[in-house]
Structure 1
């Protein structure tokens, strides 16, 4: 064989290569079975029960999978509302009953133009207790601290207003706080309401749930009390018909006053830090604010335009009056000392 002669290229054959059937490279979606997983749900009794929910697992479509350079639009969507908790941080539940809407008539009356009266009028002031007038130690619930200037504040209220208490605490806790901070003034309260007056179902009464202080309950309750009184035994607390024009609700939470927002006076929460500092002046600010409200024909109209500002300093007029009173007292004391000195000199001679 010559070197120039080409060698034939050997061919290799197999049964697989000779087959007319070729293997397809196309990927087909696999139908995934349904999978059952445990799920936690809230039962009508307020307890969490474990149920089984069925989910269908979808196959992964790699052709339509988002790439790394593709921006996701899910972050721009608002977070869904928690269906169980009104406040996730404090673990406060939604009430079992739906929260009603604000009545149109309330909005209409609150939108009126404020009118200042020449003479003061009696207001109904509804007081919250824990977080507003007192701080209760979470580790020891029997340890109660009164907010600074409480005594002065209460004296002002009982002189110019009708006063009642409405607390979301249970009756025994309300009684303990009143005995500690009100003393003999308890008998001067028009009424004392506690958790029993929120009309809560049993499931909400026994757990930490949002409690809304609907002033319609108060006004209806007063009318029922008035009708139950005998004609010749009408108490002075029924002499005035109370409504949104002359009612003020003082609380440390705006959430509790949301049905009558322009009648709610929200204070800074009297917490452990403020209780330890002992320098809080919130009640002095509230007293100055109420001194204006007693001259208003419609407090909801005034409070809508001029809401209470917890961050505002004490009014300069109050400071000036205090300084003037101090200066007058010092001048009078100086005159007395001069007169006493003259008398001593005469007696010595």
Structure 2
């Protein structure tokens, strides 16, 4: 997996809003600096077929890894951001029982029964494991499909491998323990049953024209990446089934290395002035982190460092300017943190 950026947007020559809007999202998979230890953890997850659980402070790059790996490998990508309201089977499928009941009441006088598959919405894990079945909403192969389900990430996945996928289950720790517990069988055995259809969904074989060789058949075709901010303790049964990697706080040299890679995506080239600015902002960030420790507030993350760098570069701010102090409060040590808010 190469660390080189794969493309560049138009150069950013000034603070005009249209150019700000063209700045690529850092979660789009274009660039990611992957240390050897993290690269090794990804390889182990692929070799064992186990999910990769990423731990680390917010803004350390946990959510950005999955789209980067998917882009580098040419695999399909799916993402689900877990919330406190996420239901146990939501990552697998959902079923619109209210609409099903209404249609059944309309069809009853005609002695008709609604097609239950109409009310099934495949989740990200279904799309990853069995995309052809997901399009059919679980109907048998060869059945008439009056309402094919569109790939929710169709724009990203249009030219990627139909038989490989990376799935990001972001912030899994926010969910009730029932959610990760419900994933033990699907993540371990790569199959699950859609109860409303009585249909077992399992990993589909590759298309005949794309069948792997004997050697390739031993390679894992899917990678599930879980992230946690440690808001809740994860079930031990899930931890036992995961490859676990902790993303460390990036030091000054690593911050500068990451900045140089992102500068390529922002402007297409990195000048000496850009490098000096990245180094100066990294030096200041180290100072701000020390200040944050003394104030007993959350230290600024790598993501906030990149925000500060982009603001400095776009607005022409230098770290010895008065505006730097304002930027520190806007981006690095937020006002609510200074007031004692733990967010």
Larger radius of gyration: 1
Choose between structure 1 and 2: higher helix proportion: 2
> TM over 0.5: same fold?
no
Give the shorter-chain TM-score range: under 0.3
TM-score by length of 1: 0.24
